[in-house]
A and B are shown apart, each in its own frame.
Chain A
Amino acid sequence: EAQVTQNPRYLITVTGKKLTVTCSQNMNHEYMSWYRQDPGLGLRQIYYSMNVEVTDKGDVPEGYKVSRKEKRNFPLILESPSPNQTSLYFCASSRDRHNQPQHFGDGTRLSIL
C-alpha cells in the first residue's frame, strides 16, 4: 500500500531535549516536505526536498533541521525544542514538486513543555 509513515504519532517532551520525527515513503517519490499546522494559521511549510541531498527552507524553518540521505526518508530534527514548536506536523511526498498532488502522512502531534 502506498503510504507516508510518520513516527511518533504523539510526543510530549520538554524544552531543550533534542528530538527527531521520522518520515518514510514507499512510492519512490522525489519530492518530500514538512509542514506544521496551527489553529488559525493553516499549514505552513518548514522544509522541502526535491531529491536526495537537495533540501531547502520553506516559510518557517527556524528551529528545525532536515536531511535527505535516502530517497525514501526525510526526518525532521528539533535540536533544542521550545514551547512555540508545539504543533501538529505533517510529512508529505509527491512524484515531483509541481505536477502531482502530495500524499500526506497521518501527522505527529508534538507538545513541548
Chain B
Amino acid sequence: ELKVEQNPLFLSMQEGKNYTIYCNYSTTSDRLYWYRQDPGKSLESLFVLLSNGAVKQEGRLMASLDTKARLSTLHITAAVHDLSATYFCAVPSGNYGGSQGNLIFGKGTKLSVKP
C-alpha cells in the first residue's frame, strides 16, 4: 500500500529565508505532483514531475524528484508572505500504463511566512 509522508507538517518561516519541504513515498512511482491550497480555497497545481531527476521552478519555488530515493523536495527561496499556504504532494499508486488511477496525497505542509 502506497504511503506518502510530508515533513514538516507545519512550518513557520521569516520572510527572506530559505527552506525545504520533503515528500517521501513508500512504493515505486515515476511521477509526483505538488499542489497549493490557500485557506478556504481549492487546490491549485504547482508542479508535475514526470521522471527521475526532474526539476521544475516557478518563481521562488523549485521542486525536484528522485525516484530512486522515493523523495521529492519543494524548495522555497527567499520566502515572502504571499507563499503562506498549505502545500501537498501527491503520488499515483500505479505505474504509468497500469490500470490503477488512485492518487495518494500527503497530509500537507502548512507554511506561514512572517515579516
Residues of chain A within 8 A (CB-CB) of B42 are 90, 104-107
Chain A residues within 8 Å of B108, by CB: 42
Q: Say whether B103 faces chain A, with CB atoms less than 8 Å apart.
A: yes
Query: A40-B107, A90-B43, A103-B45 are known contacts. Are A58 and B102 too (CB-CB below 8 A)?
Result: yes
- Binary CB contact string for chain A from 25 to 43 against chain B (1 if under 8 A, 0 otherwise): 0000001010100001111
A104 touches B107 (CB 8 A): no
Give Cα distance in the complex from A50 to B104, angstroms. Answer: 16
State which size class the interface on B falls in. 20 to 34
> Using a Cβ–Cβ cut-off of 8 Å, how many residues does chain A contribute to the interface with B?
27
* Alpha-carbon gap, A101 to B102, bound state (A): 14
Whether B105 contacts A56 by the Cβ 8 Å rule is: no
Known A97-B92, A98-B31, A99-B50; contact A45-B103, beta-carbon cutoff 8 A: yes
- In the assembled complex, B101 has its CB within 8 A of some CB on chain A: yes
Q: In the docked arrangement, what's the CA distance between A86 and B44, Å?
A: 23
